[in-house]
Structure 1
Amino acid sequence: MPAEGVAAVKYTVTAKRWRKGWELHIDGVGVTQVRVLGDAAQQAADYIETLKDTVVAPEDIEITPQLEDAELLEDAAAARAEVRAAEAAQREAARHQREVARRLRDVERLSVSDTATVMKVTRGRVSQLTKI
């Protein structure tokens, strides 16, 4: 592990597909291989540790698969960003829904049934929203 105040070294790995898995070309270190891409960061870290006698965390390994259609990497990154944005929007919508339910109950003094009707949810959902 890096000493306090010392930044961990980051390693760049290009993963090239072959019939039995992936070749991992580690910049400035060498080449190893792995059967499935999901194991590439750990394999690269283990390989670097063996050669350099240092501890390397898989988080310090940046794997870039070499694909026939390079745009797919950008598409995958865009899809991940869209999912993160949707998750953030979902959290905000849930927070807003809880706030509205509380205000309808506390400020407007609506019953659970009336709050459910206004919000177009079940009475049970109103109870859940106002308990959180």
Structure 2
Amino acid sequence: MSAVTVVATRWTQGWELTLEGEEDAATQVRTLDKARQQIVDYLDTVVPEVDHADWAVTVIPADEADAQKVRAVREGTAAAASAQEEAARSTRNLVAALDKKQYKSADIAGLLGISRGRVSQLLSESRTA
């Protein structure tokens, strides 16, 4: 998957979207929630032989202070998602290991602070993986 970063500059009718590093590559959008699709449509127009539908489009504000804050929040969100995935993987692995050591589901649930149903679900996931 390819990626593009877009700089959003406010103007009276909405936002001007400029491809980062390409000052002459710009389009407009009324609200930033529509920016991704507008950029995909723009790229499809200027390079029609490439399918841009799955491209990652990152929109940042032109104001550098705001851009840094947006980047920091996105990085924090990505780090939190990664940590959550790792915690889930660790939990599945531990549940499976405790089950192999003959711990009862109720005991595993008590140790990990989860329900017996969740233990059962995790064991089922670990057996199919």
TM norm structure 1: 0.66
Residues 20/101 of structure 1: CA separation in 2 closer, same or farther (3 Å cut): same
**2:60 and 2:70 in contact (8 A); partners too:** no
Please list, as runs of the form range in 1=range in 2, the aligned pairs for 1:113-132 lying within 5 A after superposition.
113-132=106-125
Counterpart amino acid of residue 72 in structure 2 = A
Of 90, 94, 99, the residue aligned with 1:105 is 99
Q: What 5-or-longer segments of structure 2 have no aligned partner?
A: none
**1:115 and 1:126 in contact (8 A); partners too:** yes
1:85: Cα distance to partner? 0.9
Indicate the percent of aligned positions where both proteins have the same amino acid: 36
- Return the alpha-carbon distance in structure 2 between the equivalents of residues 71 and 14 of structure 1: 13
Residues 43/119 of structure 1: CA separation in 2 closer, same or farther (3 Å cut): closer
Residues 130/20 of structure 1: CA separation in 2 closer, same or farther (3 Å cut): same
- Return the alpha-carbon distance in structure 1 between the equivalents of residues 106 and 56 of structure 2: 54
Q: What 5-or-longer segments of structure 1 have no aligned partner?
A: 1-7
Instruction: Note the aligned Cα RMSD (angstroms).
Output: 3.1
- Provide the aligned length of Structure 1 versus Structure 2: 119
- Return the alpha-carbon distance in structure 1 between the equivalents of residues 43 and 87 of structure 2: 45
Larger radius of gyration: 1
Counterpart amino acid of residue 99 in structure 1 = N
SS at match of 1:110: coil
